[in-house]
Amino acid sequence: MLKSNTTGSDFKTESKCLKIRAHHLCCIQGFQGYGYSPAFVANLRAVISKIKAFPPRHLELVSKCDIICASCPSEKECTAQESVSSRRIRNMDLFVMKKLKIKEGAIMKADEAFRLINSQLANASYIEEVCGTCKWRQKCLWYMQDER
Protein backbone atom coordinates (compact mmCIF):
# COMPACT_ATOMS: atom_id res chain seq x y z
CA MET A 1 0.00 0.00 0.00
CA LEU A 2 1.37 3.39 -0.95
CA LYS A 3 1.64 5.92 1.88
CA SER A 4 1.60 9.70 1.71
CA ASN A 5 5.00 11.34 2.09
CA THR A 6 4.06 15.00 1.67
CA THR A 7 1.32 17.36 2.68
CA GLY A 8 -0.87 19.10 0.13
CA SER A 9 -0.26 22.66 -0.98
CA ASP A 10 -2.50 23.14 -3.99
CA PHE A 11 -5.71 21.14 -3.77
CA LYS A 12 -6.66 21.66 -7.41
CA THR A 13 -3.31 20.40 -8.73
CA GLU A 14 -3.06 17.58 -6.25
CA SER A 15 -6.59 16.36 -6.76
CA LYS A 16 -6.48 16.18 -10.57
CA CYS A 17 -7.89 12.85 -11.73
CA LEU A 18 -5.33 10.50 -13.32
CA LYS A 19 -6.20 7.92 -16.00
CA ILE A 20 -4.72 4.56 -15.01
CA ARG A 21 -5.01 1.11 -16.59
CA ALA A 22 -6.65 -1.19 -14.05
CA HIS A 23 -3.74 -3.66 -13.85
CA HIS A 24 -1.32 -0.79 -13.28
CA LEU A 25 -2.77 -0.56 -9.75
CA CYS A 26 -0.70 -3.69 -9.11
CA CYS A 27 2.38 -2.57 -11.05
CA ILE A 28 2.52 0.78 -9.24
CA GLN A 29 2.72 -1.01 -5.90
CA GLY A 30 5.42 -3.38 -7.13
CA PHE A 31 7.65 -0.80 -8.78
CA GLN A 32 11.21 -0.61 -7.48
CA GLY A 33 12.94 1.30 -10.23
CA TYR A 34 12.97 -1.13 -13.15
CA GLY A 35 11.29 -0.44 -16.48
CA TYR A 36 11.39 -0.42 -20.25
CA SER A 37 13.54 2.71 -20.64
CA PRO A 38 14.91 5.62 -18.57
CA ALA A 39 12.04 7.83 -19.78
CA PHE A 40 9.50 5.19 -18.78
CA VAL A 41 11.04 4.84 -15.32
CA ALA A 42 11.17 8.62 -14.80
CA ASN A 43 7.54 9.00 -15.82
CA LEU A 44 6.38 6.13 -13.62
CA ARG A 45 8.28 7.61 -10.67
CA ALA A 46 6.53 10.93 -11.28
CA VAL A 47 3.10 9.29 -11.44
CA ILE A 48 3.75 7.39 -8.20
CA SER A 49 4.97 10.59 -6.51
CA LYS A 50 1.76 12.37 -7.48
CA ILE A 51 -0.34 9.60 -5.99
CA LYS A 52 1.77 9.38 -2.83
CA ALA A 53 1.53 13.12 -2.36
CA PHE A 54 -2.26 12.94 -2.32
CA PRO A 55 -3.59 9.41 -1.68
CA PRO A 56 -7.29 10.39 -2.04
CA ARG A 57 -6.57 11.58 -5.60
CA HIS A 58 -9.18 10.31 -8.01
CA LEU A 59 -8.16 7.71 -10.59
CA GLU A 60 -10.12 6.87 -13.73
CA LEU A 61 -9.66 3.13 -14.23
CA VAL A 62 -9.47 2.05 -17.87
CA SER A 63 -8.42 -0.83 -20.15
CA LYS A 64 -6.47 1.29 -22.61
CA CYS A 65 -3.27 3.31 -22.72
CA ASP A 66 -2.84 5.62 -19.75
CA ILE A 67 -0.42 8.17 -18.35
CA ILE A 68 2.10 5.40 -17.62
CA CYS A 69 1.92 4.00 -21.16
CA ALA A 70 2.47 7.52 -22.50
CA SER A 71 6.24 7.16 -21.93
CA CYS A 72 6.55 3.49 -22.81
CA PRO A 73 8.46 2.29 -25.90
CA SER A 74 5.69 -0.30 -26.42
CA GLU A 75 2.85 2.21 -26.48
CA LYS A 76 2.20 1.82 -30.22
CA GLU A 77 2.08 -1.96 -29.99
CA CYS A 78 -0.22 -1.83 -26.97
CA THR A 79 -2.48 0.68 -28.71
CA ALA A 80 -2.91 -1.28 -31.93
CA GLN A 81 -6.27 -2.92 -31.35
CA GLU A 82 -5.50 -6.12 -33.19
CA SER A 83 -2.02 -6.75 -31.82
CA VAL A 84 -1.41 -9.78 -29.60
CA SER A 85 0.16 -7.54 -26.92
CA SER A 86 -2.75 -5.18 -26.95
CA ARG A 87 -5.28 -7.96 -26.41
CA ARG A 88 -3.18 -9.72 -23.78
CA ILE A 89 -2.68 -6.57 -21.74
CA ARG A 90 -6.26 -5.43 -22.14
CA ASN A 91 -7.34 -8.81 -20.80
CA MET A 92 -5.24 -8.15 -17.69
CA ASP A 93 -7.14 -4.89 -17.17
CA LEU A 94 -10.51 -6.52 -17.79
CA PHE A 95 -9.74 -9.30 -15.31
CA VAL A 96 -8.84 -6.76 -12.63
CA MET A 97 -11.99 -4.77 -13.36
CA LYS A 98 -14.09 -7.90 -13.08
CA LYS A 99 -12.58 -8.79 -9.71
CA LEU A 100 -13.05 -5.23 -8.47
CA LYS A 101 -16.63 -5.24 -9.83
CA ILE A 102 -16.05 -1.99 -11.68
CA LYS A 103 -16.70 -0.86 -15.23
CA GLU A 104 -14.54 0.92 -17.80
CA GLY A 105 -13.97 4.51 -16.72
CA ALA A 106 -14.86 3.96 -13.06
CA ILE A 107 -13.57 6.76 -10.83
CA MET A 108 -12.09 5.79 -7.47
CA LYS A 109 -9.88 7.39 -4.86
CA ALA A 110 -6.37 5.97 -5.22
CA ASP A 111 -6.05 4.80 -1.63
CA GLU A 112 -9.41 3.02 -1.84
CA ALA A 113 -8.46 1.46 -5.17
CA PHE A 114 -5.23 0.04 -3.72
CA ARG A 115 -7.07 -1.31 -0.68
CA LEU A 116 -9.68 -2.91 -2.89
CA ILE A 117 -7.26 -4.53 -5.30
CA ASN A 118 -5.11 -5.90 -2.49
CA SER A 119 -8.13 -7.52 -0.88
CA GLN A 120 -9.84 -8.76 -4.06
CA LEU A 121 -6.70 -10.09 -5.79
CA ALA A 122 -5.13 -11.83 -2.79
CA ASN A 123 -5.79 -15.24 -4.37
CA ALA A 124 -2.62 -16.71 -5.98
CA SER A 125 -4.49 -17.90 -9.08
CA TYR A 126 -5.85 -14.40 -9.65
CA ILE A 127 -2.33 -12.99 -9.39
CA GLU A 128 -1.15 -15.47 -11.99
CA GLU A 129 -4.05 -14.47 -14.22
CA VAL A 130 -2.86 -10.85 -14.15
CA CYS A 131 0.93 -11.28 -13.95
CA GLY A 132 1.56 -14.72 -15.45
CA THR A 133 3.11 -13.49 -18.69
CA CYS A 134 4.82 -10.35 -17.34
CA LYS A 135 8.57 -10.23 -17.79
CA TRP A 136 8.99 -8.06 -14.67
CA ARG A 137 7.70 -10.64 -12.18
CA GLN A 138 11.05 -11.21 -10.52
CA LYS A 139 11.56 -7.46 -10.11
CA CYS A 140 8.08 -6.68 -8.86
CA LEU A 141 7.42 -6.32 -5.13
CA TRP A 142 3.68 -6.71 -5.58
CA TYR A 143 4.04 -10.00 -7.42
CA MET A 144 6.67 -11.33 -5.02
CA GLN A 145 4.92 -10.43 -1.77
CA ASP A 146 3.89 -13.42 0.33
CA GLU A 147 6.17 -15.55 -1.89
CA ARG A 148 3.58 -15.81 -4.64
Residues 24-63 that bind ligand SF4 (CB under 6 A): 26-27, 30
**In the complex, minimum distance from the CB of residue 141 to ligand SF4, in angstroms, rounded to a whole number:** 8
**CB 69, min distance to ligand SF4, A:** 3
Within 10 A of 36 (CB to CB), how many other CB atoms are there? Answer: 15
Pairs from 124-133 (Cβ < 8 Å, separation ≥ 24): 124/148, 126/95, 126/99, 129/92, 129/95, 130/23, 130/26, 130/92, 130/95, 130/96, 131/26, 133/88
CA distance 112 to 122: 15
Residue 136 as a binder of ligand SF4 (CB under 6 A): the answer is yes
Which stretch, 8-16, 46-54, 117-125, 133-141, contacts ligand SF4 (CB under 6 A)? 133-141
If one asks whether residue 114 binds ligand SF4 (CB under 6 A), the answer comes out as no
The answer to whether the beta carbons of residues 18 and 55 sit under 8 Å apart is no
68 near ligand SF4, judged by CB under 6 A: yes
Q: Note the residues at the interface with ligand SF4 (CB under 6 A).
A: 23, 26-27, 30, 65, 68-69, 72, 74-75, 78, 89, 130-131, 134, 136-137, 140, 142-143
